[in-house]
């Protein structure tokens, strides 16, 4: 049985000790390359860090990075409860795939009552117990349950870790209630410049979209949690990833799987103010249907949902042309094609044509 998740730890020699209530971002920004940080037990809110090369982040057992804020001062409005001042609207991905019954698809905004996520609805009239409605125009959140005596939280931050640093280690932390956009992670090491991150023995739970995204030689070892979209999305992780066959808290076993991927691209200048880019990438994961609990001909297999909907292979291609009529203006047209194969062997293609006008100030 493999070791997974958080365990009892002690501060590494020379570590900078962090406590709940500290200005964590300021302390990390002031520390040198290669510094080690140790989070004492407790809840850390408002933490979103861009590490420097070689920095290490270790948590004591019970150290929690929480991307939400506690909501208080609700007022009753008819049969509902409402709170204003909510300006955290996330980046919406309207092209993402969702079940037909999904409301407010692609909106990376979450609300929790006593650690239970509420379901988003797309109009005020649909709010009932267990749901919430985010009125973005009025910066208000409505819920259908009386919040008195309960802890209500709303996701505020997109990630706990991000950036272009290399050789970063994140270990033994609980990372919860962040709202990354679709195809991004609460630990977001999926950057063309970030390399060789080690993400080990963390519990990554209750985050919108993806729990962990990483590439370029990352090692993702012994992590688990609830609500993970996938472990990584882009690039190659030659050391493989660990895939849990059980739910969080049920003593899951793990099996190593092999994954590979690659991307190629080319840029051509037709004229000094006219250029084109083409690229193609592939990610492939050798996941066992049996290990993932995807039974042949089951409802999940036929619909491609649950573990049966885990990505087995993704292929993407892009081609564009960009014109600079003046130095500070880009006018572009891009064609994108994607192919997806899931664990139950359902597959599909998507074709997208987009135009862009960018003005640089």
- Report the distance separating Cα 260 and Cα 291, nearest Å: 19
Asked whether the predicted pLDDT for residue 139 surpasses 80, the reply is yes
pLDDT bracket for residue 286 (50, 70, 90): confident
For 179-244, give the DSSP string: -PPTT-EEEEE--SS----EEES-EEES-SSEEEEE-SS-EEES-B-SS---S--SS--TT-EEEE
Q: Residue 197 pLDDT more than 70?
A: yes
Cα 232 from Cα 81, distance rounded (Å): 38
| pLDDT tens digits, one per residue of 4-16 | 678 899 999 999 9
- pLDDT at 1 exceeding the cut of 70: no
Asked if the model's pLDDT at residue 96 lies above 90, the reply is no
User: CA-to-CA distance for 317 and 348, rounded, in angstroms?
Assistant: 14
| Residues contacting 69, CB < 8 A, separation 6+ | 45, 46, 153, 154, 156
Name residues whose C-beta falls within 8 Å of residue 170's C-beta, 6 or more positions apart in sequence: 57, 161, 187, 197, 198, 199, 200, 202
Mean pLDDT of 32-46: 98
**For position 297, what pLDDT does the model report?**
61
Determine contact, residues 152/69, Cβ cutoff 8 Å.
no
> How many other CB atoms are there within 10 angstroms of residue 124's CB atom?
14
Q: pTM value?
A: 0.68
Helices (H) and strands (E) in the chain, counts: 3, 28
Contacts of 276 (CB under 8 A, 6+ apart): 267, 268, 270, 319, 320, 321, 322
- Determine the pLDDT at residue 122: 92
Check residue 308 and give its pLDDT.
75
For 94, the token pair is 């309207």
In this structure, what token pair is assigned to residue 277?
A: 């880019």
Give the pLDDT band of residue 173 (cuts 50, 70, 90): very high
pLDDT (average), residues 25-33: 98
Tokens representing residue 99 in the block? 């079940």
Task: Tell which wins on pLDDT, 55 or 294.
Answer: 55
Residue 102 CB neighbour total at 10 angstroms = 13
pLDDT at 252: 44
Q: Of the spans 63-67, 207-211, 237-241, which averages the highest pLDDT?
A: 63-67
User: CA nearest 224: which of 197, 242, 198, 208?
Assistant: 242
Mean per-residue pLDDT over the chain, rounded: 85
């Amino acid at each position: 049985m493999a070791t997974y998740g958080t365990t009892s730890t002690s501060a590494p020699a020379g570590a900078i000790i962090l406590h709940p209530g500290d200005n964590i971002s300021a302390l990390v920004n002031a520390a040198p390359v290669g510094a080690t940080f140790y989070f004492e037990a407790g809840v850390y809110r408002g933490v979103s860090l861009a590490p420097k090369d070689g920095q290490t982040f270790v948590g004591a057992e019970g150290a929690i990075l929480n991307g939400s804020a506690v909501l208080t001062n609700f007022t009753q409005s008819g049969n509902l409860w409402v709170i204003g001042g909510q300006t955290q609207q996330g980046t919406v991905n309207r092209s993402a795939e969702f079940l037909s019954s999904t409301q407010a698809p692609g909106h990376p905004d979450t609300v929790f009552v006593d650690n239970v996520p509420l379901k988003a609805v797309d109009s005020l009239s649909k709010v009932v117990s267990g749901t919430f409605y985010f009125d973005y125009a009025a910066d208000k959140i409505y819920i259908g349950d009386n919040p008195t005596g309960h802890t209500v939280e709303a996701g505020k931050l997109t990630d706990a870790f991000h950036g272009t640093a290399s050789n970063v280690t994140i270990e033994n932390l609980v990372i919860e209630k962040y709202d990354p956009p679709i195809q991004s992670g609460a630990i977001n090491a999926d950057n063309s410049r970030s390399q060789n991150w080690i993400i080990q023995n963390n519990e990554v739970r209750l985050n919108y979209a993806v729990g962990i995204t990483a590439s370029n030689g990352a090692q993702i070892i012994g992590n688990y949690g609830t609500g993970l979209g996938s472990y990584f999305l882009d690039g190659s992780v030659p050391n493989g990833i660990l895939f849990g066959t059980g739910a969080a808290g049920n003593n899951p076993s793990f099996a190593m799987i092999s994954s590979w991927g690659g991307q190629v691209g080319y840029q051509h200048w037709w004229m000094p103010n006219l250029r084109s880019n083409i690229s193609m990438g592939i990610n492939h994961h050798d996941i066992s249907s049996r290990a993932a609990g995807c039974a042949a001909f089951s409802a999940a297999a036929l619909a491609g949902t649950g573990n049966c909907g885990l990505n087995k292979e993704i292929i993407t291609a892009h081609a564009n042309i960009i014109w600079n009529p003046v130095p500070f203006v880009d006018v572009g047209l891009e064609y994108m094609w994607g192919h997806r194969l899931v664990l139950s062997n359902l597959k599909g293609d998507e074709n997208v044509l987009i135009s862009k006008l960018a003005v640089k100030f």
